[in-house]
Amino acid sequence: MPEKSQQMPFFERYLTLWVALCIGGGILIGTTMGANMQFLADMEVYNVNIPIAILIWLMIYPMMLQVDFRSIKNVGKAPKGLIMTVVINWLIKPFTMAFFAWIFFEHLYSAWINPDQAGEYIAGAILLGVAPCTAMVFVWSYLTNGDPNYTLVQVSVNDLIILIAFVPLVGFLLGITDITVPYDTLVASVLIFVVIPLLAGMATNKYFIAKKGEKWFKTELLPKFKPVSIIALLLTLLLLFAFQGGNILDNPLIILLIAIPLTIQSYFIFFLAWFVGRKIKLPHNVCSPAALIGTSNFFELAVAVAIALFGLHSPAALVTVVGVLVEVPIMLSLVAFANRRKY
């Protein structure tokens, strides 16, 4: 009997459309309400924009509710898949992203991007490359009939590694691109946008499971938070493109130029992980989410850190939000590929 194909919920299925509408709306707002937008842009504490910080926290907290570190005890049940995920996500992906960004922004795009800005575009790409997905991967795994327990282990392990490896890896890669790294701001960003929501999510998870039970938590509470995360994402994009509107209208080609290396990186990482997974004989329901988690990005964290390090109007921030725009159609195409090649 053929497996029933999974369907993505309506809102998530057309996320690229909603993102595109927010981009257009943000640019329109930015060009018609410039002075008022500057008032929002100036609401900063220690280089962190307060409206954007609140929205990003609302994006990340619902994701952290799903993380269950108790699942790590199941690591031994599929060690090959987890080892491959860790190697791809942390020893390969950040460096290939930095390489593709360097090739395109520093060299191939030299006719359109001046050398002073190229470094920040590269930095934005690096921030995307060093942040593996922790939320949408549950959707991609579901759509390919992935093993949900294995996916949860993947996400939990990646969240632990982010706490340890994100700051030094970002610092190293930005350092070799000759960008001065403000480590205090970088560490503060991780504390604000990873550690605090992670601890809050774990506390909420533990409290409500103990009080109401795991079934109620998963079927009643988690679905209520999903719209919060998506709405916060769209409002963040609306604000970011309102702040970036002038830069984009001055150089409309930039969106396409940014999208090209991000797209190449995504397909490269997926097919590398996919063929390695096939080579080491991972089952399809492990190989698919293992390949997809490396391809997808924790763009919420990348956006937050880019803004904290380089500012709202920076090329680095623009790269991270373009990453949101290109990710959904790319991931849907890879889900279709994985489903056509079940084994």
Inter-residue contact 123 to 310 (CB < 8 Å): yes
CATH of residue 80's domain is: 1.20.1530.20
Residue with tokens 């609306």: 238
Helix residue ranges, H only, 213-283? 214-216, 222-250, 254-279
Residue-by-residue DSSP string for 108-128: ITTTTS-HHHHHHHHHHHHHH
Q: Does some domain include residue 4?
A: no
- Tens-place pLDDT, residues 29-72: 888 876 677 777 777 776 667 887 888 788 778 877 876 666 66
Q: Does some domain include residue 60?
A: yes
Q: How confident is the model at residue 1 (pLDDT cuts 50, 70, 90)?
A: very low
Q: Residue 261 is part of which domain span? A: 19-340
Q: Does some domain include residue 13?
A: no
Q: Does some domain include residue 301?
A: yes
Inter-residue contact 296 to 140 (CB < 8 Å): yes
Q: What pLDDT sits at residue 274? A: 96
- Tens-place pLDDT, residues 61-116: 887 787 666 666 666 666 888 899 899 999 999 999 999 999 999 999 988 888 87
Measured at the CA of 249, the angle between CA 128 and CA 22, to 5 degrees, comes to 60
Inter-residue contact 312 to 240 (CB < 8 Å): yes
pLDDT at 27 over 80: yes
Residue with tokens 């090329």: 315
Say whether 176 sits in a helix, a strand or coil.
coil
Q: What pLDDT sits at residue 291? A: 92
Q: Does some domain include residue 153?
A: yes
Task: Give the Cα separation of 240 and 43 in Å (integer).
Answer: 14
Task: Give the Cα separation of 229 and 223 in Å (integer).
Answer: 11
pLDDT at 163 over 50: yes
Q: What pLDDT sits at residue 6? A: 58
- Please give the C-alpha separations between residue 43 and each of 217, 233, 257, 302, in angstroms, as whole numbers: 36, 19, 30, 20
- Tens-place pLDDT, residues 240-288: 778 777 667 777 788 899 999 999 999 999 999 999 999 999 999 889 9
Q: Does some domain include residue 6?
A: no
**40: which residues sit within 8 A by CB, 6+ positions away?**
49, 51, 239, 243
Task: Give the Cα separation of 211 and 104 in Å (integer).
Answer: 53
What's the number of domains the chain is made of? 1
- Tens-place pLDDT, residues 179-206: 666 677 777 777 777 788 888 888 898 8
**pTM score:** 0.78
Task: Give the Cα separation of 24 and 12 in Å (integer).
Answer: 19
| Helices 315-340 + 222-250 axis angle, to 10 | 130
From the number of C-beta atoms within 10 Å of its C-beta (0-12, 13-18, 19+), residue 25 rates as middle
Q: Does some domain include residue 218?
A: yes
Q: Does some domain include residue 303?
A: yes
Phi/psi at 48 (nearest 5 deg)? -105, 120
Say whether 339 sits in a helix, a strand or coil.
helix
